[in-house]
């Protein structure tokens, strides 16, 4: 059977609490209109930490999953600290994310690596902290344009995976669906350029092969690998039809609820096609 697709919206530094509430007012009925089966497709929204906390508080105050939408389970963190606690002003720990009842955190996004100095070693610490707290890392890996043009794509990603995972092998293998990988070619993020679907699938297959070496075949076969990088409704189906691509990490196109739900609908259509295809996962 195909792996359950995971479609995650990374809002980055966008949306106030007021704007997020307006988004959700449109998002929930759009899921119904597109007949999204949330038992078959996993959907995440990752707002800023400030908005995230407020939305979780709202969900808890309501005492239930509002309007038939599993709202709280859809929320995820954009980042977390490499340290468990201490004098680190402005940081949010893995324990804090877990205490809110959140299941996922994005770790190692290229913007964190390039703008905020998240080295491979720091990313590894964040992965370790997340797993310790029971939060599944969405581990981002990917190459720059210069690295791709130099033929270094596979080597760069293998190195990122090895460093991020080596100290957490036991924890990953101990937990079902404890790790998600997001392949995000840096040159495609926010540029409008999308990696060719066949090439994206090849890289995701290479990633799965590396996971087999690091974690063993059983874990590698169940680990979901997303594609991210200028994903939009127009290319989502072609990407997610590929056998090694198990969803998408969506940036700009996730900021509009109608656009984002169209991507979710494409994932649902791709899942049905994979289930019918004998060569699919």
42 is catalytic: no
Catalytic-role residue among 30, 42, 111, 184: 184
210 is catalytic: no
Cβ neighbors of 16 (< 8 A, separation 6 or more) are: 51
Distance from chain centroid for Cα 278? 27
**Spatial contact of 80 and 53, defined as CB atoms under 8 Å apart:** no
Interaxial angle between packed helices 153-165 and 197-215, expressed in degrees from 0 to 180 and rounded to the nearest 10: 40
**Spatial contact of 227 and 219, defined as CB atoms under 8 Å apart:** no
Task: Give the Cα separation of 221 and 133 in Å (integer).
Answer: 24
Task: Look at residues 187, 191, 263, 200 and name the one whose alpha carbon lies nearest to residue 226.
Answer: 200
Catalytic-role residue among 30, 42, 109, 111: 109
User: Active-site residues: which are they?
Assistant: 109, 184
């Amino acid at each position: 059977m195909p792996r359950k697709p995971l479609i995650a919206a990374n809002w980055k530094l966008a949306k106030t609490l007021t704007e997020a509430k307006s988004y959700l007012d449109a998002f929930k009925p759009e899921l119904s209109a597109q007949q999204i089966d949330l038992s078959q497709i996993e959907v995440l929204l990752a707002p800023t930490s400030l908005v995230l906390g407020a939305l979780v508080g709202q969900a808890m105050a309501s005492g239930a999953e509002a309007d038939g939408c599993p709202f709280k389970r859809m929320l995820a963190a954009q980042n977390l600290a490499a340290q468990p606690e201490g004098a680190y002003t402005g940081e949010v720990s893995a324990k804090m994310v877990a205490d809110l009842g959140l299941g996922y955190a994005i770790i190692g996004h290229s913007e964190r690596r390039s703008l905020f100095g998240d080295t491979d070693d720091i990313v590894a610490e964040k992965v370790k902290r997340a797993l310790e707290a029971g939060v599944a890392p969405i581990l981002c890996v990917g190459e720059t344009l210069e690295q791709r043009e130099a033929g270094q794509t596979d080597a760069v990603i293998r190195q990122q995976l090895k460093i991020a995972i080596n100290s957490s092998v036991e924890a990953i293998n101990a937990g079902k669906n404890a790790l998600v990988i997001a392949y995000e070619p840096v040159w495609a993020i926010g540029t409008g350029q999308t990696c060719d679907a066949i090439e994206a699938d090849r890289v995701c297959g290479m990633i799965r092969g590396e996971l087999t070496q690091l974690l063993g075949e059983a874990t590698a076969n169940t680990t979901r690998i997303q594609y991210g990088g200028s994903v939009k409704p127009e290319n989502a189906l072609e990407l997610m039809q590929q056998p090694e691509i198990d969803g998408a990490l969506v940036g700009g196109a996730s900021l509009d609820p109608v656009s984002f739900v169209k991507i979710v609908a494409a994932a649902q259509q791709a899942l049905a096609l994979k289930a019918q295809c004998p060569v699919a996962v």
